[in-house]
């Protein structure tokens, strides 16, 4: 199981704040998860998740798209931060 | 050993009392630099702001801020450093964020406070959206913020 969170404008665009993927044997990298969601959830998700500035974290640490993901991990996709 | 304080809250805070508390727990501190960020009264087009929403990533946001403070403590000789950041809906003119850095000498206090703010803007998971009479819109990140943070990068 992999839990995936979405934040900010991205969450509003796809109308989802989190999903759980139960079958994760083939989803062992951030890029594979992004491709899987892009293909299975339609064009709005595809466009939103493939914006060049999207930030991705695994277990609450920002990673690059080739980062490894394991069963039980927490992944998040979000726009660049705008706090402070 | 640098004392560190991180607080995320919906409630209003008082910058003066935060500075008083920071200073009261120090012994070798000779100067404190603080920064307070506020909600503007208007948006970037001059339209009056009704409110500002601060979203965060519970857990990761706190961890990110602690990491930034640890980095600051590694770089500069500071006795105490703290961040208070608000989340949720805020009215215009309310304080959003407070950073305070206490050190024996001013150069460390100035530099570390600016470092923490620059990194908070670009590394801590917060997202702002503004509400005006025209509706609600998410704020885009600024390249200038990334450039400011990049100045602190070490080779």
Q: Of B54, B127, B137, B148, which to mutate for an interface test with A (greatest number of A Cβ within 10 Å)? A: B127
- Number of domains within chain B: 1
Residue B155 lies in a domain: no
> What whole-number distance in Å separates Cα of residue A78 and Cα of residue B57?
10
Quick check: is B116 in a domain? yes
* Residue A24 near residue A60, CB atoms below 8 Å: no
pLDDT in tens, A16-72: 999 999 988 899 999 999 999 999 999 999 999 999 999 999 999 999 988 999 999
**What is the ipTM for the molecules in this complex?**
0.93
Give A48→chain B minimum CA distance, Å.
15
Locate the chain A residue with the closest alpha carbon to B59: A60
Helix B106-123 to helix B60-75 angle, to the nearest 10 degrees?
150
Q: What is the DSSP secondary-structure string of B95-147?
A: EEEEEEEEESSHHHHHHHHHHHHHHHHHHS-EEEEEEETTEEEEPPP-HHHHH
Distance of alpha carbon B117 from alpha carbon B151, whole angstroms: 13
Domain-embedded: residue B75: yes
Each residue's pLDDT expressed in tens, for chain B with a length of 155 residues = 899 999 999 999 999 999 999 999 999 999 999 999 999 999 999 999 999 999 999 999 999 999 999 999 999 999 999 999 999 999 999 999 999 999 999 999 999 999 999 999 999 999 999 999 999 999 988 888 888 888 888 74
- Give the C-alpha separation, B29 to A22, whole Å: 53
State the CATH number of the domain containing residue B91: 3.90.1170.40
Q: Where are the domains of chain A?
A: 2-78
Q: Quote the domain boundaries for residue B86.
A: 3-150
> Are the C-beta atoms of A22 and A4 separated by less than 8 Å?
no
Contact check, Cβ <8 Å, A5/B57: yes
Phi/psi at A53 (5° precision):
-100, 10
The correct CATH number of A2-78 out of 3.40.50.10860, 3.30.1370.60, 3.10.20.30, 3.40.718.10 is 3.10.20.30
A84 and B97 within 8 Å at the Cβ level: the answer is yes
């Amino acid at each position: 199981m992999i839990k995936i969170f979405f934040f900010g404008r991205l969450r509003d665009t796809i109308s989802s704040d989190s999903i759980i993927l139960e079958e994760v044997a083939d989803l062992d990298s951030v890029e594979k998860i992004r491709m899987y969601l892009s293909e299975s959830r339609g064009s709005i998700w595809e466009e939103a998740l493939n914006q060049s500035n999207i930030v991705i974290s695994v277990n609450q640490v920002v990673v690059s798209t080739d980062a490894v993901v394991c069963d039980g991990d927490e992944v998040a996709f979000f726009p660049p931060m705008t706090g402070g | 050993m640098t004392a560190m304080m991180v607080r995320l809250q919906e409630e209003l805070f008082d910058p003066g009392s935060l500075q008083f508390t920071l200073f009261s727990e120090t012994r070798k501190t000779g100067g404190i630099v603080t920064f307070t960020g506020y909600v503007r009264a208007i948006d970037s087009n001059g339209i009056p702001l009704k409110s500002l929403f601060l979203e965060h990533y519970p857990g990761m946001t706190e961890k990110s801020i602690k990491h930034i403070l640890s980095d600051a403590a590694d770089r500069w000789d500071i006795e105490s450093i703290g961040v208070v950041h608000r989340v949720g809906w805020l009215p215009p003119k309310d304080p959003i964020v407070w950073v305070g850095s206490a050190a024996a000498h001013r150069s460390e206090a100035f530099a570390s406070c600016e470092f923490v703010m620059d990194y908070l803007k670009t590394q801590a998971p917060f997202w702002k959206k503004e509400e005006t009479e025209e509706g609600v819109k998410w704020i885009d990140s600024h390249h200038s913020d990334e450039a400011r943070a990049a100045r602190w990068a070490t080779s």
